[in-house]
Chain A
Amino acid sequence: MHVEFLGVPRQRAGISELEVQANTLGQLLGTLATQIPPLGEFIAVDRLHSSFIANLNGDQFISDPATPLVGDDRVLILSADAGG
């Protein structure tokens, strides 16, 4: 599936988008932590730090590592804190 980084995750990753193979959100996050070490501070095994959040296809925000993902999903990783 397609991963899109926004805000600080994009800054840390140094890229805005990435293709990753994973069946669940937990797998995806584990892969990201390995492939992009600067993101490691925000990922604990298979979960995002509480100040970050994942979103599925621009619709639903997701946090359960068991959330299933399919091939054409787009997962967005961003700061959960939207304070301005």
Chain B
Amino acid sequence: MPFGYHGCYLRIDVSEGTSEYVPLSDTVLRQYLGGSGLGVKLLLDEGAAVMDPLAPEAPLVFAFSPLVGSPLTTSAKFAVVSKSPLTGRINDSLASSGFAIAAKRCGCDGIVIVGRAAELSVVVIDETDVRMEPATEYRGATCRETESGLKARLGANYRVASIGQAGEQLVRYATISHDGRHAGRGGSGAVLGSKNVKAIAVRGQHRAEWANPEELTTISISLSKRSFGPATAKYRELGTATNLLTFNRFGALPTRNFQSGTFEEAASLSPEQLSTTRSKTRESCVSCTIGCEHIYTLGSGSGVRVEYESLFALGSLCGVSDADAVLRASQRCDELGLDTISTGGTIAFAMECVERGWLNEPWLTFGSADALLRVIDLIGSRQGIGDLLADGSRRAAEAIGHHSIDFAPQVKGLEIPGYEPRALQTMALGFAVGARGADHNRSGAYEVDFSDKVDRRHVTLDAVRHAIDTEDKAALMDSMIICKFLRGVFEDFHAEAAEMLRSVTGWDVTADELRETAKRIVSAKRQFNLLAGWTPAEDTLPERFLSTPLPNDPEASLSRERLDSLVAEYHRQRGW
């Protein structure tokens, strides 16, 4: 067994209440590392691609990494990997903090959960002892209530990942939450909910040894020092929310269900404006020196974590400029355990359908803060129109008809994040080919658009290799695991990544090997999707983006022919 690992995963059958530690070979660990990579490998071995993701036999994987528990900044992260109930394709979502460290200290490199408990339950892992306890008193509880209640019941040194009401109701974009953060995209919360599991509580003391602790300490100190520099200034000083005004300036801020790339009232939602009227604190995940979380107070005195994706999805995308309402909507999504991007995208789609007279919910209009807050609660409880919208924009479009699928803001069923594809066309390619659907975390192609490598509104085939590079890099970062907000501090990421892994695992790993590892992980995701029924026709964007230029920027136009040629070149360069 290499250093940095325990060499096994914990497989729990919640139907039977049984568990076993299953060995992981050195070869598998070196080929897939951990996190997303290891999670996909375990899913393939379990045969998950052909299963109904909400069936009892469908596995849900929590995957850790060799770096978890090390002094490397931002390394306290875990991946939640399953077949997505929203897309029917691979889904890997990441979250941070103490759960990753505590779960790995239970003596495993991953946890695989299968089955369906007889009643709403919590899985308790105490060191290497696994048991199920009833959790019926937490039915309908928020993620935070569940977490604090279980810590009071079990002991404060437990770390808890839980679902909110949305996960219990099998909302297809429900999250799994820990310490206020979410494994957000693709509906892993619904998968856990389908198993009748409200939460997983872990505590452990089994540390994995490091191959070269002195070298690891030196690398960690250097990385931490650099994490205080200009490369992370954006995240420390304003947070991701600063994208809002920047994207608006470039006509890339999705507005009113992608009918525009500029929002006339964007300033009212910007962190620059929010910080003039509200007090703000800054927090960070365990083991992180960046501190990207900017917590703003609401009228009630409670705090809400403000991220760009939540501001865009619940703000400009729904045409809502009331900052208090958008912050409250974001907070409500956190409480219910809802992915804010898919929530906002699905609501904005419904608002446009109402506008066109295809959905008889006259109160659900663009710009209405009251409607936004009301419909989020309906989605979380699957009541009224919320039952339809809880299945996401693609399924809603199929039910509504009228070719509304042409403007349902999704790829492979996953709602599009806050990057207008016509104004950022390398990102458009990244969205189209993404294994888990439209996604800014598995493809960092927007980096290419915000550079002198391409003309963002007239990209050519030369953009493809850059898009592939960002996708491979993301696959590696999500498997090692290390936070992408560190990207800018590395002079040569692959060389430094190899150094980190050498010091932790003792492997003679090189930068070139890691480049191959990244490609292997991307290919494994594709293999999963092929088994699940993927066809080339899925690698595209909704018709709106391919037939309608942005109204205020005629140059921001992307034809089907151009996107098809980019996708074909992507497949060619991938060797697919």
Q: Is the Cβ of A11 less than 8 Å from the Cβ of B452?
A: no
Cβ-based interface call for A79 (8 A) = yes
User: What is the number of residues of chain B that contact chain A, defined by CB distance less than 8 Å?
Assistant: 37
- A41–B308 CA distance with the chains assembled, in angstroms: 25
Least CB distance from B361 to A in Å reads 30
Tell me, in angstroms, the Cα distance from A81 to B472 when the chains sit together: 17
* Closest-CB distance, A40 to chain B (whole angstroms): 11
Closest-by-CB residue of A relative to B489 is A51
The distance from the CB of B426 to the nearest CB of chain A, in whole angstroms, is: 11
Whole-angstrom distance between the Cβ of A83 and the nearest chain B Cβ: 6
CB proximity to B under 8 Å, residues A49-69: 49-53, 55, 58-64
Residue pair A82, B245 in contact (C-beta under 8 Å) = no
Residue B162 lies at the interface, judged by CB distance under 8 Å to chain A: no
With an 8 A cutoff between CB atoms, is A76 at the interface? yes
B115 interface residue per 8 A CB criterion: no
Please count the residue pairs between chain A and chain B whose beta carbons lie under 8 angstroms apart in the complex. Answer: 94
Interchain nearest-CB distance for B250 vs A (Å): 7
Residue of A with least CB distance to B341: A84
Contact with A along B242-283 (1 / 0, CB 8 A): 110111011100000000000000000000100000000000
Q: Closest approach, in angstroms, between the C-beta of B43 and any C-beta of chain A? A: 27
Question: What 0/1 pattern do residues 219 to 246 of B give for CB contact below 8 A with A?
Answer: 0000000000011011001101011011
Contact A78 B246, CB 8 Å, known A8-B233, A49-B230, A84-B307: yes
Task: Please give the distance in Å from A54's CB to the nearest CB on chain B.
Answer: 9
Asked whether any CB of chain A lies closer than 8 Å to the CB of B21, the reply is: no
Q: How does the 8 Å CB contact mask read for A12-43 relative to B, with 1 for contact and 0 for none? A: 00000000000000000000000000000110
List residues of chain A with CB within 8 A of the CB of B230. 41-42, 49, 51-52
Which B-chain residue is minimally distant from A76 (CB atoms)? B249
- Tell me, yes or no, whether B496 is within 8 Å of chain A by CB: no
For window 420-465 of B, CB contacts with A under 8 Å fall at 440, 444, 446-447, 449-452, 455-456
Q: State which of B231, B243, B246 has its C-beta within 8 Å of the C-beta of A51.
A: B231
Q: How far is the CB of A21 from chain B (nearest CB, A)?
A: 23
Per-position 1/0 for B292-312, Cβ under 8 A of A? 000000000000000111001
Say yes or no: A83 contacts B487, CB within 8 Å: yes
For A43, the closest partner residue in chain B by CB is: B230
A63 to B453 CA separation, bound complex (whole angstroms) = 10
Distance in Å: Cβ of B205 to nearest Cβ of chain A: 35
A8 touches B237 (CB 8 A): yes
B488 contacts A82, C-beta separation under 8 Å: no
Contacts of B231 in A (CB 8 A): 49-51, 81
With A42-B230, A49-B230, A51-B230 as contacts: A80 and B272 at CB distance below 8 Å: no
Within 8 A of A (CB), among B395-422: 417-419
In the assembled complex, the CB of B88 is this many whole angstroms from the nearest CB of chain A, namely 26
Q: Judge whether A7 is part of the interface by a CB distance below 8 angstroms.
A: yes
Least CB distance from B481 to A in Å reads 16
Chain A: minimal CB distance from B73 (Å):
16
A1 contacts partner chain B, Cβ-Cβ < 8 Å: no
A51, B233: Cβ atoms closer than 8 Å: yes
Does B452 lie within 8 Å of A82, measured CB to CB? no
A42-B230, A49-B230 are known contacts. Are A82 and B246 too (CB-CB below 8 A)? yes
- Which residues of chain A are near B238, meaning CB under 8 Å? 7-8, 11
With contact pairs A7-B246, A51-B230, A62-B452 given, residues A81 and B488 touching in the complex (Cβ less than 8 Å): yes
Residues of chain B within 8 A of A59, CB atoms compared: 455
Q: Which residues of B contact A53 (CB under 8 A)?
A: 450-452
Find out whether the CB atom of A84 lies under 8 angstroms from the CB atom of B233: no
Interface presence of B374 (CB below 8 A): no
* A82–B237 CB distance below 8 A: no
Contact among A10, A58, A84 for B309, CB-based, below 8 A:
A84
Contact A80 B237, beta carbon cutoff 8 Å: no
Question: What residues of B have a CB within 8 angstroms of the CB of A52 in the complex?
Answer: 230
Given contacts A60-B452, A61-B450, A84-B243, contact A8 B249 (CB under 8 A): no
Q: Which residues of A contact B250 (CB under 8 A)?
A: 55, 58
Give the nearest-CB partner of A55 in chain B.
B250
B460-492 Cβ-contact flags toward A at 8 Å (1 or 0): 000000000000000000000000110110000
How far is it, in angstroms, between the C-alpha of A83 and the C-alpha of B484 when the chains are bound?
Answer: 8
**Separation of A50 and B226 alpha carbons in the complex (Å):** 13
Q: How far is it, in angstroms, between the C-alpha of A31 and the C-alpha of B243 when the chains are bound? A: 26
The reply to whether B488 and A84 form a contact with Cβ atoms under 8 Å apart is no
Given contacts A7-B234, A10-B272, A51-B488, contact A83 B240 (CB under 8 A): yes
14 more CB-based (< 8 A) A-B contacts, given A51-B233, A81-B488, A83-B484: A6-B246, A6-B249, A7-B238, A8-B242, A11-B272, A49-B231, A51-B230, A60-B452, A61-B456, A80-B450, A81-B231, A82-B247, A83-B447, A84-B309
B-to-A contact residues, CB < 8 Å: 230-231, 233-234, 237-238, 240, 242-243, 245-247, 249-251, 272, 307-309, 312, 417-419, 440, 444, 446-447, 449-452, 455-456, 484-485, 487-488
9 CB contacts below 8 A, A to B, read A8-B233, A8-B234, A42-B233, A52-B230, A53-B450, A61-B456, A78-B246, A80-B451, A83-B444
